[in-house]
Amino acid sequence: MSQHEFYVARAEEARRDAEAATLDNVRDRCRRSEAAWSDMAARAERGDKMRAKLDAEKKAAAETVAAE
């Protein structure tokens, strides 16, 4: 399980907890938790994409050097 998947799962869990909560303060806390986990998931996804892009660029640069 990647970090992104972990964060998404935690956000979904917080959403379910918020829907099941009967107290307003508990529901609010769960909604804040869901938002935080969702933000972390988005950051992890951006990081994964950036890492893949950098790896592809490094590979292309290495192939260029090897061809010379």
User: In this predicted model, what pLDDT tens digit does every residue of 12-51 receive, in sequence order?
Assistant: 999 999 999 999 999 999 999 999 999 999 999 999 999 9
Reported confidence tier of residue 66, pLDDT bands at 50, 70, 90? confident
Neighbours of 16 (CB within 10 A): 12
**Tokens read off for 30:** 């769960």
Predicted TM-score (pTM) of the model is 0.81
